[in-house]
Amino acid sequence: MATDARPVRATEQLDWPRVAQYLRAHLRPGEVPGLDLSREMVVEQFQGGHSNLTYLLRFGEAEIVLRRPPLGPVPPTAHDMAREHRWLTAMNPVFPLAPQPYLLCDDTSIAGSIFYLMERRHGVVIRTEEPPELADHPAERRRVSIACIDTLAALHAIDIERAGLSHLGKPAGFVERQVRGWTDRWHRSKIDPLPEMEALADWLLANRPADPVRPSVVHGDFKLDNVMLDATDLGHPVAVFDWEMSALGDPLIDLGILLAYWTHAKPVSGQDALTSVTDRPGWFSRDAIVERYATHTGRDLSRLRFYEAFALYKIAVVIQQIFFRYRRGQTDDPRFANFGERVTRLAQKAVELAGNM
């Protein structure tokens, strides 16, 4: 469980005096509740996640979240903070679980990259440990399961045209672009040959489904630990985070991601990229997730295995990119040392899924 921030890791410090000077010149006090720019800026870091860097800034009682890409070179089009800011700006009015963005800084001299600021939401994020309110409480686990699935269904129910979101992208050809894009990222970040990944890229491209009749907003990384829950009522979501991969297109991409992370058995060799708490009594089974989503959305799920295989492929590429940065010395976070093995296991799981189509 991750509920708060901690001291900034020594290797992920920014030029905080320069950041503070920029914010004092550009933030509007009336937009951020309680903001007092005369106070000293205090900085902490959210420790969860493996990719973008997320910091908590305090000016007196006011709290602001700063998001920027990981340190060092990043793949082209990846970790696009301007894109995430644009999506939050569009989504917050029509989907309030998307936090309100405050400011985008495209001057890379301030913090070493483009970054943006958004509102702080308070609540519980479930990662590798359950809060006491969930532990040994199957009924509460069921409520959280329902909340996650219903939140995803509500996101996919947004009418793109009526909500004024059409300018955010072109749904046609979305899945093909996803397969080609993540394959390109694989080739840019791979260190050693992995035949399973090459075979998957070909299979996914050859077996991609047709464009959906009803395209939707696609979050791109919808999973349990990107949903924040009310600390006093865990069945009530208060935020959905990490919108950098959002797009307009096939919503089943999101369902595939959710299922990929929603595991029901612990890995044989300890934690892996898909380790979760959802193997415990009370959490929805994968079949129950699919059934509830289908009931709420009315979508055809007959090709679901494709989306599950693609999700595993995409997660493998994401982890490979992090491992690539670790091997090049761009991060010394010890969590990343065995990521190469995780990529191999994910590729093997995806091949098994593809073979069962």
pLDDT tens, 34-67? 999 999 999 999 976 557 899 999 999 999 999 9
> Alpha carbon of 289 to those of 124, 126, 149, 202, 257: distances in Å?
21, 18, 7, 29, 12
What pLDDT is recorded for position 353? 86
Q: Domain residues of the chain, as ranges?
A: 10-119, 138-355
Nearest C-alpha neighbor of 278 from the set 142, 124, 123, 132: 142
Q: How many CB atoms lie within 10 A of CB 169?
A: 18
> Alpha carbon of 63 to those of 26, 48, 57, 190, 317: distances in Å?
16, 18, 6, 39, 34
Q: Which two tokens stand for residue 272?
A: 């892996």
Choices 3.30.70.100, 3.40.50.1370, 3.40.50.720, 3.90.1200.10: CATH for 138-355? 3.90.1200.10
Q: What is the pLDDT of residues 66-92, one digit of tens each?
A: 999 987 656 555 568 999 999 999 999
Q: What is the DSSP string of 52-71?
A: SEEEEEEETTEEEEEEEPPS
Instruction: Output the average pLDDT for the chain.
Output: 89
What pLDDT is recorded for position 17? 97
Domain 10-119: give its CATH superfamily: Phosphorylase Kinase; domain 1 (3.30.200.20)
> Alpha carbon of 238 to those of 51, 224, 227, 230, 235: distances in Å?
22, 13, 8, 6, 10
Q: What is the pLDDT of residues 140-156, one digit of tens each?
A: 999 999 999 999 999 99
Q: What is the pLDDT of residues 143-197, one digit of tens each?
A: 999 999 999 999 999 999 999 999 999 999 999 999 999 999 988 888 888 899 9
Contacts of 253 (CB under 8 A, 6+ apart): 174, 175, 178, 218, 220, 307, 310, 311
CB 332 within 8 A of CB 11: yes
Q: What is the pLDDT of residues 276-320, one digit of tens each?
A: 799 999 999 999 999 999 999 999 999 999 999 999 999 999 888
